[in-house]
Amino acid sequence: MRAFAVSTLMMLALGASADAKDIRISLDWAWQGGQAPFALAEQMGLFKAEGLDVVMDRGNGAADTVTRIAGGAYDIGFGDLGPMVKLDAEQPDKALLAVLMLYDRSPLCAIALTKSGIKAPKDLEGKTIAAPEADAGRVLFPALVKATGVDPGKIKWQTVAPALRETMLFKGDADAITGFITSGYFNLVGLGIKPEDIVVMRYADYGVDIYGSGIYARPAFAASNPDAVKGVVRAIIKAHQAALKDPAAAIAALTKRDALIDPALELKRLSMINDQLITTDATRAKGIGTVDPARLARMIGTIADAYAIKTAPAPEIIYTDRFLPPQADRLLPAKM
């Protein structure tokens, strides 16, 4: 019934005409390389070109962004979709709807140092992994276990604050950590560890094939403001296409949002996101935001299993492609 209700609501949106012009967007984290395309969209006037007056604020984590959107403090959110799927399953009255799958690949990973001798997930047996209790990499570790045959009974977890995770690994107080490659890797580099001394085990490389971050909104807001949502989606896609073509320009826009960033470091972070999370065989062929229904269903099942959700939400509850521009407008820049 819920799937029918959402579908009906979205169909009614076709006749909506009084779209909001003032849009509040919450990002997932601080102004870093991954958020640079959003700053670029602002600087290029892409939201203004859609007739929108957009206010964007930094976030405090994907779970917090989900709470912001569900509670109505913001209209549109950007972040990892795991917490959104969890919310939709556990609090259907507050369910959110993804309108753009931006990262075709998840940044989830486990990280160790070469001196530990850890080279693959199986080597984590008998080791200590440090991570916050709610860390996405830790919560979804059972998916990595299932894909690789790691014995979870042979792993010791150490619960730490997010700010201490990489420091624990650096000091040798933990053998490995979990999290996002876009943060863990660069935090370790910032601590002075050479890239060649960092071992990154991407969940995606070991069979955990899930989407990463996307754009989402409350279904009722999307239904009442279809043109505004379409405009936001178009602007964000154009900005990411521009950032793929000229990442340095995106970082220049980022410095206007936060003059204290390290431009060289954030350029490397953005380049990693461009190369590993956005640019894939699927997006090369079909463009940004193309979702494979079967893969989406598997992703929902994977997240449901990790959170011990008994009844996984139907794919149409989680995602819709009704707000996407034509495929021709979503293709990656030439020579990517």
Domain ranges in the chain are 2-105+210-329, 108-206
Structural domain 108-206, CATH architecture? 3-Layer(aba) Sandwich (3.40)
Instruction: Judge whether residue 4 has pLDDT over 90.
Output: no
Instruction: Check if 2-105+210-329 and 108-206 are the same fold.
Output: yes
Which DSSP string corresponds to 78-139?
EEESHHHHHHHHH-GGG--EEEEE--SS--EEEEEEGGGT--SGGGGTT-EEEE-TT-HHHH
* CA–CA distance, 185 with 181 (Å, rounded to integer): 5
pLDDT at 327 (0 to 100): 97
Residue pLDDT, tens place only, 208-251: 999 999 999 999 999 999 999 999 999 999 999 999 999 999 99
Confidence tier at 12 by pLDDT (50, 70, 90): very low
Which among 294, 233, 293, 235 has a CA at the least distance from the CA of 100? 233
Confidence tier at 71 by pLDDT (50, 70, 90): very high
Q: Residue range 46-51: average pLDDT?
A: 98
What percentage of the chain reaches a pLDDT higher than 90? 92
Which among 91, 77, 44 has a CA at the least distance from the CA of 222? 77
Residue pLDDT, tens place only, 155-164: 999 999 999 9
Instruction: Judge whether residue 15 has pLDDT over 80.
Output: no
Q: Residue range 56-64: average pLDDT?
A: 94
Q: Which residues of 242-271 are buried (b: 16+ CB within 10 A; e: fewer)?
A: bbbeebebbbbbbbebeeebeeeebbbbbb
Structural domain 2-105+210-329, CATH architecture? 3-Layer(aba) Sandwich (3.40)
pLDDT at 295 (0 to 100): 97
pLDDT at 34 (0 to 100): 97
